[in-house]
Amino acid sequence: MPPTTSYREALREALREALQNDPRAFLMGEDVGRYGGTYAVSKGLLDEFGPERIRDTPLSELGFVGAGIGAALGGMRPIVEVMTVNFSLLALDAIVNTAAMLRHMSGGQFSVPVVIRMATGAGRQVAAQHSNSFEGWYAHVPGLRVLAPATVEDARGMLAPALADPDPVLIFEHAQLYNMQGELPATDTQPLDIRTARVRRSGSDVSLITHGGCLPKALRAAEELGAQGVSAEVIDLRVLRPLDDATVMASVRKCRRALVVDEGWRSGSLAAELMARICEQAFFDLDAPLARVCSEEVPIPYARHMEEAALPQVPKIVAAARALMGVSA
């Protein structure tokens, strides 16, 4: 049996391996050193690698993300941790107007091999300014690769190929996944790709297409649907830019019904992009209109019952899938 570990520990082991294997690699961000990381991902790494490789930074996302981009241009392999996706907006100019654009603006003379990790998502009662899901925003930007590991295996395996990518890679870690336990395959398996989506559960009646923190919810919904006689296939996008259209369309053509589950807001969402692509590429394969379950169009509330009501939940997913099947509640 493969060993069991947590999502958090898998991320830490990926960081440790990166620092051991490449002297150019270093971690930088707020509280990553002496405090051990806001989510304890980098706990113990300062003692192991020292302050040159594990660098605590001032509370200035624009400043230290910009420094990471400069280090990447100088030949280093920085791993920049932003405490939450909400705070990454303070570094939006550096990420979008510099890191993402420099290869194009330099006519291919420069690349920016920086990895930027950040926590995303809601569900922990930390209120609106700490609970957003902005990965769909970044997936809009050419020049970025956007990853959303939702399993222990992806948490462990996505960092190495991200560091090997010559262009900037953003890794979104849903905050509710850090304590999740899972099996970790042996380290001598084939390197993990950061190009394709994965079928996490096979089915034949309806495709549930999702990513990140919504994957466990989609899998639980698929279990419930199975008990009700509905065979749901679950697609984990994993890579939000570039999207793996081939895997999505293969599932849609097989199941002929599709439901997108996205913690982002409905308006202008990644869910909307997926639905548009399905209409463009597989419209005549559908037996029912497309559907989606997204967060409500409100700032994420603090009160637990209101926060839960605002987010995609298993009952909402089950109800939407049953509606696609024409099954009444």
What are the sequence ranges of the domains in the chain?
A: 4-183, 198-324
Which residue, among 41, 250, 43, 298, has the nearest Cα to 149 in the 3D structure?
Answer: 41
The pLDDT of residue 123 is 93
Q: Which CATH class is domain 4-183?
A: alpha beta
52-57 mean pLDDT: 98
Catalytic-role residue among 61, 81, 153, 307: 61
Q: Which of 126-130, 232-236, 244-248, 293-297 has the lowest mean pLDDT?
A: 126-130
163-174 mean pLDDT: 97
For the cut 90, the answer to whether the pLDDT of residue 328 exceeds it is: no
How does the average pLDDT of the chain come out, rounded? 96
pLDDT in tens, 224-269: 999 999 999 999 999 999 999 999 999 999 999 999 999 999 999 9
The pLDDT of residue 248 is 98
The pLDDT of residue 223 is 98
pLDDT in tens, 81-94: 999 999 999 999 99
pTM greater than 0.85 (yes/no): yes
Report the percentage of the chain scoring pLDDT > 90. Answer: 95
24-36 mean pLDDT: 97
Q: Which of 38-52, 132-146, 185-199, 277-291 has the lowest mean pLDDT?
A: 185-199
The pLDDT of residue 327 is 78
Catalytic-role residue among 9, 30, 81, 130: 130
Structure tokens at 105: 């603006």
For the cut 80, the answer to whether the pLDDT of residue 188 exceeds it is: no
CA separation, residue 307 to residues 259, 269, 300, 301, 311 (Å)? 22, 19, 6, 5, 7
Q: How far apart are CA 199 and CA 250, in angstroms?
A: 10
For the cut 90, the answer to whether the pLDDT of residue 189 exceeds it is: no
The CATH code of domain 198-324 reads: 3.40.50.920
For the cut 90, the answer to whether the pLDDT of residue 145 exceeds it is: yes
For the cut 90, the answer to whether the pLDDT of residue 190 exceeds it is: no
Report the percentage of the chain scoring pLDDT > 70. Answer: 98
Structure tokens at 62: 């624009």
Using alpha carbons only, what angle is made at residue 47 by residues 43 and 52, rounded to the nearest 5 degrees?
105
Phi, psi of 27 (to 5 degrees): -110, 135
Structure tokens at 307: 């926060």
| CB-count exposure of residue 31 (10 Å: 0-12, 13-18, 19+) | middle
The pLDDT of residue 30 is 97
The pLDDT of residue 2 is 73
61 annotated active-site: yes
User: Where does the pLDDT of residue 184 fall: very low under 50, low under 70, confident under 90, or very high at 90 and above?
Assistant: confident
Q: What share of the chain is helix, strand, coil (3-state, %, to 5)?
A: 40, 20, 40
pLDDT in tens, 91-125: 999 999 999 999 999 999 999 999 999 999 999 99
Which residue, among 120, 126, 124, has the nearest Cα to 146 in the 3D structure?
Answer: 120
Q: How far apart are CA 187 and CA 275, in angstroms?
A: 36
Query: Omega before 242 cis (within 30°)?
Result: yes
